[in-house]
């Protein structure tokens, strides 16, 4: 269900009184004849997307719903268009008359919405549901940077780290969870992490590692081992092997392409990606 609704005399009681009691309602008075209303409508559309789980934008079209608009205007003392009224549990908690910037509205929302880290966590969960792991990681990491002691944030971030094969980071997050907070979700993640670790010790990795020990300068073995390591989530080891190949031969088979693909698979701003991208540039330039 969309969190943007056009109010009418038929649905207003249901929208404002019966539904969405878990959301902050942004009641906005709108007229297509007013440029400020049009501009604010675009802002509210963006905010509705950003705060999807927490707000409902309910629009009164003053051109199309004149009787309803007049009735509500008298009740709240409407003096300007646009006007934004914030309602919580069916009661007004704030009113913003006149044109408002996005920052102005966000400041008002911050007074009545969950903490920023919880909002970011919700965005991370939505990105996870959309199978956008890198975006999910970015949101969850921001939430963790705000409150590194929040166990729910730790667990969601650990879950994402397991899925993008940042297993050392996932282990550190799970290790920081106190025993009293190790719930069923924690136990599930702990089991997933152990399974992921076991996958990193495959027979093929062991075989190629042994072969490389016998022939430490064999770039063909290095390339094969690097690809297997990357698939198992050992991306730092894979990048190190590929870089050692590129230092000797920048055009060796698929080494450069594989190197770049591993970097692109890492989350935006990841320290490992930044470090190895710089190392590659130093070879190129």
pLDDT digits (tens, 9 = 90+) for 19-38: 556 789 999 999 999 999 99
Q: Does residue 16 carry a pLDDT above 80?
A: no
DSSP-derived secondary structure letter, 267:
P
Question: Average pLDDT for residues 91-118, to the nearest whole number?
Answer: 91
Name the nearest CA neighbour of 252 among 262, 241, 263: 241
165: region left, alpha or beta (phi > 0 left; psi from -120 to 50 alpha): left
- Is the pLDDT assigned to residue 104 strictly greater than 80? yes
Determine the pLDDT at residue 19.
55
Give bridge partners of residue 6 from the DSSP assignment: 59
Average pLDDT of the residues of the chain: 90
Q: Could you identify the residue written with the tokens 């667990």? A: 155
**Predicted pLDDT at 52:** 82
Q: What is the DSSP string of 51-114?
A: TTTTEEEEEEETTT-HHHHHHHHHHHT--SSSEEEEEETTEEEEEEES---HHHHHHHHHTTSP
* Contact (CB, 8 A) for 202 and 228: yes
pLDDT recorded at residue 1: 54
Question: Residue 113 and residue 88: Cα distance in Å, rounded?
Answer: 10
Q: CA torsion angle for 61, 66, 67, 71 (degrees, to 10)?
A: 60
Give the Cα separation of 116 and 99 in Å (integer): 25
Strand partners, 84: 28, 96
The 10 Å Cβ neighbour count of residue 101 is: 11
Tens-place pLDDT, residues 156-184? 999 999 998 889 899 999 999 999 999 99
**Residues 129-160 as b or e (16 or more Cβ within 10 Å = b):** eeeebbbbbbbbbbbbebbeebbebbbbbbbb
Where do the domains of the chain lie, and which CATH numbers do they carry? Answer: 4-110 (3.40.30.10), 116-198 (1.25.40.10), 203-284 (1.25.40.10)
Whether this prediction's pTM lies above 0.75 is answered by: no
Q: Which of 46-55, 62-71, 181-190 has the lowest mean pLDDT?
A: 46-55
């Amino acid at each position: 269900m969309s969190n943007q609704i056009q109010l009418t005399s038929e649905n207003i009681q249901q929208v404002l009184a019966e539904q969405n009691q878990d959301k902050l309602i942004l009641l906005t008075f709108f007229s297509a004849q007013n440029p400020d209303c049009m501009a604010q409508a675009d802002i509210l559309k963006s905010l509705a997307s950003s705060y999807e789980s927490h707000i409902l934008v309910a629009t009164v079209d003053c051109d199309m719903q004149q009787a309803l608009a007049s009735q509500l205007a008298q009740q709240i003392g409407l003096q300007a268009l646009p006007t934004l009224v914030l309602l919580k549990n069916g009661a007004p908690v704030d009113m913003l008359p006149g044109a408002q910037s996005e920052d102005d509205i966000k400041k008002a929302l911050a007074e009545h919405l969950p903490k920023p880290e919880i909002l970011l966590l919700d965005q991370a969960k939505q990105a996870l549901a959309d199978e956008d792991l890198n975006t999910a990681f970015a949101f969850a990491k921001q939430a963790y940077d705000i409150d590194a002691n929040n166990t729910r944030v730790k667990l969601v971030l650990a879950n994402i780290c397991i899925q993008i094969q940042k297993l050392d980071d996932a282990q550190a997050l799970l290790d920081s969870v106190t025993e009293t907070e190790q719930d069923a979700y924690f136990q599930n993640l702990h089991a997933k992490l152990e399974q992921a670790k076991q996958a990193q010790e495959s027979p093929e990795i062991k075989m190629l590692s042994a072969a490389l020990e016998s022939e430490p300068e064999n770039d063909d073995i290095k390339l094969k081992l690097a690809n297997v390591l990357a698939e198992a989530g050992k991306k730092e080891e894979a990048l190190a092997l590929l870089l050692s190949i590129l230092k000797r031969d920048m055009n060796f088979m698929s080494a450069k392409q594989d190197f770049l693909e591993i970097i692109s698979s890492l989350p935006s701003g990841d320290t490992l990606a930044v470090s190895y991208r710089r190392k590659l540039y130093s070879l190129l330039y």
